[in-house]
Amino acid sequence: MFSRKFRQKFNFVFPTRRQAWRWLLPILLVFLFLSTLLWLPWQTQRMEANERQEQLIADTLWVEQTIRFQLARDEETLHLIAADITAGDTPEQRVRDRIMALMRNNHELSRIAQFDADGDLVISTDDTPASLSDLPPESLAAAEDARNARSPHYSHPAPPRNMSSPMLLDYHVPLFKGDEYIGDLVASYSLSSILSEMVPWWFAQDNEIAIVDQDDVVLDRRAAGGPGRGVYTHHRPLELDGITLSLRTNSVKGEPKLLPSLLVGSVIALSLGLLWSLYALWRDINRRLAAEGALRQQVAFRTAMENSLMTGLRARDLNGRITYVNPAFCEMVGIPAEKLVGKSPPMPYWAPEAMNEYQQRFSQVLAGRVTPQFETVFQRSNGERFPVLIFESPLVDDTGKQTGWMGSILDISDRKQVEDLNRRQQEKLQASARLATMGEIASTLAHELNQPLAAISSYTTGALNMIDSHASKPGSLDLEILKPALEKAGIQAQRAGHIIRSVHTFVKRREPSREPITVPELIDSVIPLIELQAHQFFVAINTRIDSNLPSVLADRVMLEQVLLNLTRNAIEAMHDVDPARRILRIVAERDAAQPQNVVISVIDNGYGISSEVAERLFSPFFSTKAEGMGMGLNICRTAVEFHGGTLTHAGNPDGGTIFRFSLPGLGDTFVPSAPDSAIINGN
């Protein structure tokens, strides 16, 4: 019905056939249990109803028996009285007394009367009726039947003539002396008295009881406990001589109520609870299945990701024991995962010579002070060493508790090689740039060297002349005379040597090395070379070095190169301006934003930098000069950044450009203040 893809995606919603079977049995059992639970109260109710019905039948039977028994007793007494009358030897008064006694003792009787053969009243317990013919027709019919049959008869109940109540049931006992009819003894029962006297109160309280005739017409009823509900009813024939009446009982009780019953209530509550918990269980299991599925996917995804990673992953617990390594890590160190997991330090990939460093770092890890990122050296299983970059981060479980450390390990051998190559090329480039700079100032250099050399030459010539002039007068040569000339020649030779040395150190290709240097030292050492160019273009140099500047940890030659490049550009930018404005200013001061840093500014009054030039200023090989190499500023920026500083430029408000570079100061190492100096080379 659903596509396979769809089913796979919503696997937890559409259980497979096996899962469905696993569910089916408990669901069937639960339904069986629930239907039993529901059937039980229904069955109980049925039983209760049956019980009530049976009880009613038994009670009705009992009432019928009671009525019948009482009527039978009355009949017996009446028969005895009738026998006395027909015998004729009992005085009338005595008969009357016996009738009165019968009346007194049986309240269901409302009247007893004796009539003679003509129907005239002989004895009566009350005044009416005066003669037999005053009786209602139903009673007269019964009297007729009794006389004909010569046996007592009950009449169909009827009210007295011209009245509507009470309903009277007359019992006619025909009186015969031999074969001669001598009269009728009539006992009248009030039906309501029969019901009130002969039916026990407890029965009347629970049931409505009625006397009905054969046509089901209610003749009288008693409903002390209210009308019957028609739920439990019973019909019991009351067979009397000459007539059949019925007792109809109708319980005032209704059906046993289902809900109020504690049992039903608890069963329903229990069923609902059970259904709810079943539903909750089903929902929970579904959720779990969904979560499990998602988790499995996550795990598969993670495993695939970890396996495809080039970065090594290594997890350690709080004791430093390895709990996990990924394939990349195993490949990196050349040791399989099973030999690494569970290992405690020292690790098999630790290089013996770096053991101390590892131990130290490990104790830091245990103390909770882990270095988040560091470089170290690991050893492969074949003993080969390789540099690695490690990032450590705490491993935290879902309760937020730290359970260990996760490290990602990067094999940086390749990166190191590239970096080395880069560095070497940079050095070569810088050396070439320095050579180029030197080439540019070579003529000035030759001129500078020419002076000391010429001086040396003239001093030595002078000295030789002196020796020659005294050669003719042997022993008269005072060597003291030669001393000043030779000293001066020596000084000039030293000066030339100094120039040659500074050129040599500047041009020599070398590894950068940092040392603490003071800013005045730095500027002083490069000033002679700057002056060489400044002379050429008739530029005045004005330096201002603030007092209390911190030293900087720097490579002297690199910074000299920066200064030389910036000043050379500045000087060249001013070759067209008015000679009076050709002033190169070098200012060294504390950085206003970060006072621990030094800022050196090279300020010129040249032609300035247009926005197009500014965009490409630091690009390698960008130059606006006919013979420019275009590497100067690029090298400057690299060198400044190598020292942790920045190189920026801005327009000079007085016209020209300001190049500024900052250098991080070395703590608060103060250097003695250098007096402001102004060197003017203007001729």
400: left (phi over 0), alpha (psi -120 to 50) or beta: left
Contacts of 221 by beta carbon, 8 Å cutoff, 6+ apart: 195, 208, 209, 210, 211
| Coil, helix or strand at residue 133 | helix
Chain-centroid distance of CA 51 in Å reads 60
- For residue 620, the minimal CB distance to ligand ADP (Å) is 8
- For residue 423, the minimal CB distance to ligand ADP (Å) is 21
Of 393, 624, 648, 673, which one interacts with ligand ADP (CB under 6 A)?
624
- For residue 575, the minimal CB distance to ligand ADP (Å) is 11
Segment interacting with ligand ADP, rule: CB under 6 A, options 460-468, 488-496, 512-520, 599-607: 599-607
Nearer to ligand ADP, 10 or 621 (CB): 621
- For residue 574, the minimal CB distance to ligand ADP (Å) is 8
Tokens of 503: 């050129």
Pairing state of beta strands 385-396 and 243-251?
Answer: unpaired
Can you point out the beta strands (E) in 546-646? 550-554, 583-590, 597-603
DSSP state at residue 580: G
Token pair 């039993």: residue:
36
Segment interacting with ligand ADP, rule: CB under 6 A, options 247-255, 268-276, 450-458, 605-613: 605-613
Nearer to ligand ADP, 573 or 588 (CB): 573
Which residue type is seen at 647?
L
Asked if residue 617 lies in contact with residue 680, where contact means CB atoms within 8 angstroms, the answer is no
Segment interacting with ligand ADP, rule: CB under 6 A, options 22-30, 165-173, 206-214, 562-570: 562-570
Of 160, 345, 407, 606, which one interacts with ligand ADP (CB under 6 A)?
606
Asked if residue 198 lies in contact with residue 66, where contact means CB atoms within 8 angstroms, the answer is yes
Asked if residue 171 lies in contact with residue 186, where contact means CB atoms within 8 angstroms, the answer is yes
Pairing state of beta strands 168-177 and 218-222?
Answer: unpaired
- List the x/- string, 168-207, binding to ligand ADP by CB under 6 A: ----------------------------------------
Of 429, 431, 629, 666, which one interacts with ligand ADP (CB under 6 A)?
629
Asked if residue 171 lies in contact with residue 75, where contact means CB atoms within 8 angstroms, the answer is yes
∠ CA(116), CA(120), CA(121), 5° rounding?
90
Q: Does 628 bind ligand ADP (CB under 6 A)?
A: yes
- For residue 651, the minimal CB distance to ligand ADP (Å) is 10
Single out the residue of 546, 552, 498, 490 nearest to residue 525, CA to CA.
498
Pairing state of beta strands 583-590 and 402-411?
Answer: unpaired
Nearer to ligand ADP, 551 or 634 (CB): 634
Nearer to ligand ADP, 71 or 609 (CB): 609
- For residue 345, the minimal CB distance to ligand ADP (Å) is 52
Of 256, 462, 630, 655, which one interacts with ligand ADP (CB under 6 A)?
630
Single out the residue of 298, 330, 334 nearest to residue 314, CA to CA.
330
Tokens of 131: 């003669």
Token pair 């008015």: residue:
578
Q: Three-state SS string across 510-527, please? A: CCCCCEEECHHHHHHHHH
- For residue 606, the minimal CB distance to ligand ADP (Å) is 5
| Coil, helix or strand at residue 213 | coil
Q: Does 155 bind ligand ADP (CB under 6 A)?
A: no
Of 58, 613, 650, 678, which one interacts with ligand ADP (CB under 6 A)?
613
Single out the residue of 587, 604, 593, 579 nearest to residue 523, CA to CA.
587
Segment interacting with ligand ADP, rule: CB under 6 A, options 149-157, 292-300, 406-414, 615-623: 615-623
Distances in Å between the Cα of 283 and the Cα atoms of 82, 276, 287 are: 90, 10, 6
Binding residues for ligand ADP, rule CB under 6 A, total: 22
Q: Does 655 bind ligand ADP (CB under 6 A)?
A: no
Of 609, 639, 647, 663, which one interacts with ligand ADP (CB under 6 A)?
609
Q: What's the CA gap between 51 and 500, in Å, rounded? A: 135
Of 246, 379, 518, 565, which one interacts with ligand ADP (CB under 6 A)?
565
Q: Does 418 bind ligand ADP (CB under 6 A)?
A: no
Contacts of 321 by beta carbon, 8 Å cutoff, 6+ apart: 342, 343, 344
Enumerate residues 571-590 that contact ligand ADP by CB under 6 A: 573
- For residue 607, the minimal CB distance to ligand ADP (Å) is 6
Q: Does 570 bind ligand ADP (CB under 6 A)?
A: yes
Q: Does 623 bind ligand ADP (CB under 6 A)?
A: yes
- For residue 681, the minimal CB distance to ligand ADP (Å) is 19
- For residue 649, the minimal CB distance to ligand ADP (Å) is 8
Of 569, 601, 638, 652, which one interacts with ligand ADP (CB under 6 A)?
569
- Give the binding site for ligand ADP (CB under 6 A): 565, 569-570, 573, 604, 606-607, 609, 613, 617, 622-625, 628-634, 657
